[in-house]
Structure 1
Amino acid sequence: MIATKARDAGLAAAQGLALAGMSLIGSITLFTLAITSIALIPVGVGVFTTPALLDLVRSHADRRRLLAAKWAGVRIPLPRRPLPRQPRAGIAGQVERCTLLVKSPATWRDLRWLLIDMTAGAVTALLPVSLLAEGLFGILLVLGLWQPIVHAGGGYWYEFIRVDGWTTASFAALLGACWIAVGLRFGRALIGVHFSITRSSLTLTREAELGERIDRLTETRHDAVDSSAAELRRIERDLHDGAQARLVAMGMNLSTVEALIEKNPAQAKKMLSMARESSAEALTELRDLVRGIHPPVLAERGLGDAVRALALRLPVATEVEVDMAGRAEAPVESAAYFAVSEILTNAVKHAGADRIWVDIHHAEGMLRMSVTDDGRGGASAGAGSGLSGIERRLGTFDGVLAVNSPVGGPTMVTMEIPCALSSPKTSSC
């Protein structure tokens, strides 16, 4: 038990030293450079240095989020939109990107965290190692260290104890043992306090979170309206150019059959055969069109089976894992299905993948979907890409998309949509 406590305290002390270094060196340096660069924007220099420095600030904050989850099990959300990419080339694009970053509330939230991290964050990070070091020094005093110190200066204050002999050195050692006991007992908790301060600094307040969600939902609502209008135009075009044209041709053939059925029965029979073929082709096109709007298997069997059916039609070997205890609402299922469908299509067309893995599961009120391929990588969710369209589709339901695609692969696209599942027995679908 004591060995475990000592090991945990030693690990907490080492982690605290690392965090203190990040706070006292990394945070101070980045805060100073970022504020200086922002101050230089009016004279033009900051326009070129600020975006790069703010990128470093965000990376520094994201690194702390990762350590919080890894070292203390503290989950710090990422309540910021993706970094704005340079909208235009040249100086005009650089100015626009700099303006977007400086106006972003997330930028000032990160800078405020740097200020807190270099003060309160550094203090809490240093406490675990400080308690152990101070306690060890107190014990060293009674082992004889007090003599050269006292002889050199005439006396030494250890906390509130004036050490000038063996008796007072013994009291100092007793106090040192108490500090070590506190370090063993609370070292791990102090690391948790450090990350709790980080979380409170980087996390949105309730009011700010609601404001962010309102802004995002307003934006995605406009996207959804535009997408719906474009989808209606596509359906109208497909009907006009496909099934409608075949039905008109079939009607003309039937009119010709009426005129020929007594005069030329053989030709009439031939025209009936052509009308039957046109009706079959029109029916196929209508089925394809309906499948593109809402696949029947999705309505009948749910998201898991619909994605499995989709995977069977792909020319690339695809494995699908599904873990869902019920079904989501129909609009959520539809958005999730078409998002996965488009990502699979991209993987087949552009990634050059030999194998694809799809994982769909529901946990903690989230429908999580990931699509991984062993292709060439290099995918990006930037403006103009197909992934940005998927991101807007998911944003309509307050969902998010993340892409991890280093050059050379593999590529993993992860999506989350907050939703509840209905029981399979009570589902209306």
Structure 2
Amino acid sequence: MRLLGAWVSGFGRSCAVAAVCLAVPGVWAAAVAWGIWWGATNPWSWSAPVLLVVAGTIGLARPVCQAARRLVARWSGTTIPGGYRRAVPVTRLSTGYWWNGFSYERTRRDALMDQRWRLRWRDPANLRDLRFVAVAPLTAGLVAALPPGGLAVAVLGSASAQTSVRVAGAVGALVLLAAAPWAWRLLEPVAVRFLRPSPAMALADRVEELTVQRADVTVAQAAEIRRIERDLHDGAQARLVALGLSLATAQRLMDRDPEAARALMREAQAGATASLAELRELIRGISPPVLSERGLLDAVRALALDSPLEVSVRAEGALELDAPIESALYFAVAELLTNAAKHARATHARITIRRDATALRVEVEDDGRGGAAVRSGGGLDGLRRRLAVFDGTMEVTSPPGGPTVAIMMVPCESW
């Protein structure tokens, strides 16, 4: 059964790789067929197929590359950075003009439109994507097409009475059986070789990322300080002030109205208990005690027990992490479980923590309705930025209808 499952899985993955890598050649073939069909009646028939080839290649290059990265990340755990230029916030200046990182515009709408077009068409990553869609069909796409091609030949051979065709069908069946478990594996080395950012792109991205991280850390620290001050002022501080007033009043009433004094003492005791609970909750929000005392794995297991979902936790390898990294991963897992219960309406979740020689991988999967995306300024984007402080990455796969899979990777060479 295990071999059958591996064969079926390999065949499905090979079909997916073939569909991704051969999407652009499929457009080329459609353009050639259109030109042949139209050329019989129109001498200008070459123009439309050429436009279709150019538009299809440019339009499909980035989606094909992004799909290849997602497949590699999901199947092998290898995260290939996109290396695309990111949009900076559009800012209004004192002169009334809007700055989008490239030019000044009169309105915010014009600034956003100009920024979007510049990022899309002047990104150096476009040439890298075009190179991949030219190389992938002849390497990973060609190999991945062997299992579905073998299946087609085997079906045609079984339906024919000619000996030569039946022999070809038998050969196709052998190719199908032999290649299905392995044909998809060529995608990873090809994608890593041709889709990784160039050194110049990686350096520019790193400088930009560090600039954004510095701003994020400053804003996050200020917001956290304000939150702690607000929680102390509105919660524990107010209760402690009321506790002091109750004790002072009880002291004055002790001689002339002992019963009222004892009632105030009981209220003061309840107030002290509530204040202690609020302070513990505040400390838990800053750094959960179980995280500092027992480490990430036990903290995640405690989180799973408190979650309204049915959560299973599995860990592989020793986990000896620095406290800031443990905290970032813990709160990331907590937010993903909260999103799964609150927004995705999930009932089950699975957390897998695995460490190898180069990185720690934390995978959170739920059976919710899907549709989650990393949008600029959203909660998932905040998680990604927090992990980026430690050179970590987060990839989210969430098709409509689910499941949602979030994969967080943090390098561990220096631990």
User: Structure 1's 398 and 123: CA in aligned 2 closer, same or farther, altered over 3 A?
Assistant: closer
Deviation, structure 1 residue 282: 0.3
Paired residue for 1:229, among 218, 222, 225?
A: 222
Alignment of 1:78 with 2:81, yes or no, is yes
TM-score, normalised on structure 1? 0.63
Work out whether residues 353 and 373 of structure 1, in 8 Å CA contact, stay in contact via their aligned partners in 2. yes
State the partner residue of 2:173: none
User: Structure 1's 20 and 340: CA in aligned 2 closer, same or farther, altered over 3 A?
Assistant: closer
C-alpha separation in 2, matches of 1:22 and 1:261 = 86
Work out whether residues 83 and 196 of structure 2, in 8 Å CA contact, stay in contact via their aligned partners in 1. no
Kindly provide the amino acid, as one letter, of the partner of residue 255 in structure 2.
Answer: E
Alignment of 1:340 with 2:333, yes or no, is yes
* Residues 91-137 of structure 1: CA deviation (Å, up to 9, x unaligned): 764443222223433234324x26xx75x888889999xxxxxxxxx
C-alpha separation in 2, matches of 1:61 and 1:343 = 26
Work out whether residues 140 and 190 of structure 2, in 8 Å CA contact, stay in contact via their aligned partners in 1. no
State the partner residue of 2:123: 104
State the partner residue of 1:310: 303
Kindly provide the amino acid, as one letter, of the partner of residue 263 in structure 1.
Answer: R
Paired residue for 2:64, among 56, 60, 63?
A: 60
Alignment of 1:298 with 2:298, yes or no, is no
SS in 2 for 1:377: coil
State the partner residue of 2:352: 359
SS in 1 for 2:343: helix
Work out whether residues 84 and 123 of structure 2, in 8 Å CA contact, stay in contact via their aligned partners in 1. no
Work out whether residues 24 and 56 of structure 2, in 8 Å CA contact, stay in contact via their aligned partners in 1. no
SS in 1 for 2:245: helix
Kindly provide the amino acid, as one letter, of the partner of residue 386 in structure 2.
Answer: R
- C-alpha RMSD of matched pairs (Å): 4.2
Please give the residue correspondences for 1:92-241 in structure 2 after superposition, counting only pairs within 5 Å: 93-111=112-130, 113=131, 118=134, 199-241=192-234
SS in 1 for 2:314: strand
User: Structure 1's 53 and 223: CA in aligned 2 closer, same or farther, altered over 3 A?
Assistant: farther
SS in 2 for 1:320: strand
Deviation, structure 1 residue 83: 7.4
Work out whether residues 365 and 419 of structure 1, in 8 Å CA contact, stay in contact via their aligned partners in 2. yes
User: Structure 1's 124 and 396: CA in aligned 2 closer, same or farther, altered over 3 A?
Assistant: closer
- More off after superposition, 321-330 vs 86-95: 86-95
Paired residue for 2:279, among 277, 286, 300?
A: 286
Segments of 5+ residues of structure 2 without an aligned counterpart are: 1-17, 32-53, 91-106, 144-181
Deviation, structure 1 residue 75: 6.7
Work out whether residues 358 and 412 of structure 2, in 8 Å CA contact, stay in contact via their aligned partners in 1. yes
* Residues 283-313 of structure 1: CA deviation (Å, up to 9, x unaligned): 0000000000000000011111111111111
C-alpha separation in 2, matches of 1:93 and 1:277 = 56
Kindly provide the amino acid, as one letter, of the partner of residue 333 in structure 2.
Answer: V
Instruction: Give aligned pairs, total.
Output: 320
Work out whether residues 85 and 97 of structure 1, in 8 Å CA contact, stay in contact via their aligned partners in 2. no
Work out whether residues 335 and 394 of structure 1, in 8 Å CA contact, stay in contact via their aligned partners in 2. yes
Deviation, structure 1 residue 84: 6.1
The structure with the largest alpha-carbon Rg is: 1
Work out whether residues 20 and 64 of structure 2, in 8 Å CA contact, stay in contact via their aligned partners in 1. no
State the partner residue of 2:11: none
Deviation, structure 1 residue 230: 0.6
State the partner residue of 1:372: 365
User: Structure 1's 55 and 271: CA in aligned 2 closer, same or farther, altered over 3 A?
Assistant: farther
State the partner residue of 1:262: 255
From the two aligned structures, give the one with the greater helix fraction: 1
User: Structure 1's 211 and 294: CA in aligned 2 closer, same or farther, altered over 3 A?
Assistant: same
State the partner residue of 1:42: none
User: Structure 1's 20 and 233: CA in aligned 2 closer, same or farther, altered over 3 A?
Assistant: closer
Deviation, structure 1 residue 393: 1.4
User: Structure 1's 314 and 198: CA in aligned 2 closer, same or farther, altered over 3 A?
Assistant: closer
Alignment of 1:391 with 2:359, yes or no, is no
* Residues 33-80 of structure 1: CA deviation (Å, up to 9, x unaligned): xxxxxxxxxxxxxxxxx9997552112334566899999x99783342
Deviation, structure 1 residue 281: 0.4
Work out whether residues 86 and 119 of structure 2, in 8 Å CA contact, stay in contact via their aligned partners in 1. no
Deviation, structure 1 residue 397: 1.5
